[in-house]
Structure 1
Amino acid sequence: MQELIQQFLDYLSVERGLAPNTIQAYTRDLKEFAAFLKEHGVVGVDKVTHKDVTEFMWSRKNKGIAANSISRGLVAIRIFFRFLLREQKIKQDPTSVLDSPKLWKCIPDVLGVAEVEKLITEPDTRDPLGIRDRAMLELLYATGARVSELINLNINDLNMDVGFVKCFGKGNKERIVPLGRKAQAALKVYIEKSRPGLIGKHLSNNGLFLSRLGKKMTRQMLWKLIKKYTRQARIKKEVTPHTLRHSFATHLLERGADLRVVQELLGHANISTTQIYTHVDKERLKMIHRKYHPRP
């Protein structure tokens, strides 16, 4: 089965042109699925049934794996079996009768506007790294950028004169997103006062956000910084880099932004992905109603 998985991954990379991050995620999902099948005595892809796939999904849910990760895993398995069917490795697709686990889909955590303000203003802007961190947080919230998009930004992806940033999303799709005045101001300070000291001898490095060693920031670095500033701001919620993306979308919709515009800003290929944020808005309204209405 491992050989077939590798053939499938090569197909995704070469023929479908999927993003490396997506292929890495699918690799993890399929290897975990293969291990599950082996553990349960299922030998050979032609022996897999829809029951095996369903039980694998439930096993992941029982381990506490996030609903979005479970859904992504099902997508990976579905595409894998369609590939096998097309290549005549199997005669029947066991996933053809399965529904997506919609009931498991969690409403994403979001921060209130005041909480976002506390988080963003937490870095010490008297320090070069604090100036960098403030600019990163401002940019995440101003644009709704994904973590991978932020850390891969180059200095020439910014157009400070007109206030736009060029983001490269999933599948290397390009989109142009407005920066906003506060993000622009924070970026200007960072580029003029902090970045020259960080880049040091690495003059050929075009990366926008640099570590203290003059190299591009990594996902892990950004994750740790956000955890640090969340603690300092005494925010009790579970905050990740993606929380600012969720908050960006939710706050826009709360203030009347059109769903299609938010879809474009987020770089979602399908509007159904963006629609989850309308549920966030409704849930918050219900919570406020229960809290403040005299007869909830």
Structure 2
Amino acid sequence: MKWQEAIQDFTYYLKIERGLADNTVQNYRLDILKLANYISEYNATLTPELVDEETLQSFIYSISKVINERSQARLISGLKSFFDYLIFEDYRKTNPLELIESPRLGRRLPDTLSTDEIDQLVEAIDLSHLQGHRNKAIIETLYGCGLRVSELVELKISDLFFEKGFIKVIGKGNKERLVPINTYTQKFISIYKEEFRIHLNQQSEFKDILFLNRRGAQLTRAMIFTIVKQLAKKINLQKNISPHTFRHSFATHLLENGANLRVIQQMLGHESITTTEIYMHLDKTHLKSVLENYHPRA
């Protein structure tokens, strides 16, 4: 079995059988390509069926010099899945990564923004051009609904159910969920959609996509990152933020104001409550007030 054939089959399996998101599938594919390229230089005769533990240890050691521990852990996880797939398809009997451990990672607390910082970022948006009202709607949607950047760029006009107070979001693994949207966020989306978006020369295949670039096409994830970075620079914000920071802030502010963790889990689209629990990094004052307000012995 050739490497290209194995990678193509595995990619198809991840998309069709496991229903993983395109970004996740692409990351898996790139990691396996790194291994295939390394083997082509190290020992071109090694096919996916013949790769052994020693070769993989050598590969991981070499790549650990150029990527961080978190990326190493993802790489090892992806390769383990790849060789498990080969076992499932009867190409191999064992997984050569079975005894190779991932780096131990501490749980990294996400960066968050205060409400004042979010207000400053929004106020820094230049509303004198068409993209300004779009960018304001984007920031308000990221923070008001806690969306992932991939969910934001895929958001459709037909997914807006403002009369019911919800939007439909396609999350990881193409899983749909309904996310509540407040009237404040609705207002900025409506202004953009009804007063500014209509003046764009919309490309036919993107007519239902909510947020468009100046050419009438779908925005990329990279463009959203650029918008956020430029706003942070404009107000001289001393934090390294990304679109995901608004999602973290959304969850943290809800929790600080007394929202139920299970409800936040549903709104974020987390499969496991453990993922949502990362937002429990609240200050001691808040924890003390929760005890005083809700414990029967308080």
TM-score band by shorter chain is: 0.7 to 0.9
Distance 1:121 1:104, change over 3 A: same
Q: What is the SS of the residue equivalent to 1:103?
A: coil
* 2:270 is the alignment partner of 1:274: no
Which of 120, 138, 141 in structure 2 is aligned with 1:139? Answer: 141
Count of aligned pairs: 282
Report the Cα offset of residue 145 of structure 1: 0.7
* 2:2 is the alignment partner of 1:4: no
Q: Distance in 2 between matches of 1:213 and 1:56?
A: 44
Q: Output the amino acid matched with 1:79.
A: S
Unmatched segments (≥5 aa) in structure 2: 286-298
Report the Cα offset of residue 213 of structure 1: 1.4
Alignment of 1:202-217 (within 5 A): 205-217=207-219
Q: What is the SS of the residue equivalent to 2:200?
A: helix
Q: What is the SS of the residue equivalent to 2:177?
A: strand
Q: Output the amino acid matched with 1:28.
A: L
Partner of 1:290: none
Distance 1:203 1:93, change over 3 A: closer
Q: Distance in 2 between matches of 1:72 and 1:90?
A: 22
Distance 1:204 1:41, change over 3 A: closer
Partner of 2:289: none
Report the Cα offset of residue 168 of structure 1: 0.3
Bigger drift between 87-96 and 139-148 goes to 87-96
Deviation string 1:190-214 (CA, Å, 9 cap, x unpaired) is 1221111124575971111111111
Q: Distance in 1 between matches of 2:63 and 2:166?
A: 40
Report the Cα offset of residue 105 of structure 1: 4.6
Q: Output the amino acid matched with 1:9.
A: T
* Contact 1:110-1:250 within 8 A present in 2 as well: yes
Q: Output the amino acid matched with 1:209.
A: F
Alignment of 1:74-153 (within 5 A): 74-153=76-155
Report the Cα offset of residue 57 of structure 1: 5.1
Q: Output the amino acid matched with 2:279.
A: Y
Partner of 2:15: 13
Unmatched segments (≥5 aa) in structure 1: 287-296
TM-score, structure 2 as length reference: 0.83
Which of 178, 181, 184 in structure 1 is aligned with 2:183? Answer: 181
Distance 1:259 1:197, change over 3 A: same
Q: Distance in 2 between matches of 1:242 and 1:37?
A: 36
Alignment of 1:221-260 (within 5 A): 221-260=223-262
Report the Cα offset of residue 112 of structure 1: 2.4
- Aligned identity (percent) is 39
Q: Distance in 2 between matches of 1:244 and 1:269?
A: 20
Distance 1:202 1:252, change over 3 A: same
Which of 46, 62, 66 in structure 2 is aligned with 1:63? Answer: 66
Report the Cα offset of residue 9 of structure 1: 1.4
Partner of 1:163: 165
Q: Output the amino acid matched with 1:125.
A: L
Q: What is the SS of the residue equivalent to 2:178?
A: strand
Report the Cα offset of residue 160 of structure 1: 1.7
Report the Cα offset of residue 189 of structure 1: 1.3
Bigger drift between 37-46 and 141-150 goes to 37-46
Q: Distance in 2 between matches of 1:174 and 1:81?
A: 30
Partner of 1:29: 31
TM-score, structure 1 as length reference: 0.84
Distance 1:58 1:238, change over 3 A: farther
Bigger drift between 220-229 and 96-105 goes to 96-105
Which of 61, 71, 74 in structure 2 is aligned with 1:72? Answer: 74
Q: Distance in 1 between matches of 2:242 and 2:55?
A: 33
Q: Output the amino acid matched with 1:63.
A: V
Report the Cα offset of residue 104 of structure 1: 4.9
* Contact 1:199-1:210 within 8 A present in 2 as well: no
